[in-house]
Amino acid sequence: MTSPARNQAFRDLGTRPGEAVAAWTGFFERWDMAKYGSEGAPLHDPCVIAYLIRPELFSGRHINVEIEISSPLTMGMTVADWWGVSGREPNALFIGGGHVHLVT
């Protein structure tokens, strides 16, 4: 998740990659703040790579996930049955938390 402190930590690295990452994450932070009122934004794509390298940084559980294909109001919506109310078999690992820390 982006945050002002995390973006500053990237800048404080004093490197061109640190500055580039701070610029990217700063954009997402501002976007989500304006659109959703949140302090930061999730960074889904980098988290996929981090999960492949260090899965122990993340937590989640196997649940049923379906894509809505019949309702005109929610067509295309991802439905994650986090609480198992559908009775359907789990078919995906849903990551619901993480403890990714900036390493310098």
Active site residues: 44
CB within 8 Å of 31: residues ≥ 6 apart: 41
How far apart, in Å, do the first and last CA atoms of the chain sit? 17
Q: Which residues pair with 62 in a beta bridge?
A: 93
How many other CB atoms sit within 10 Å of the CB of residue 32?
Answer: 17
Structure tokens at 36: 């959703």
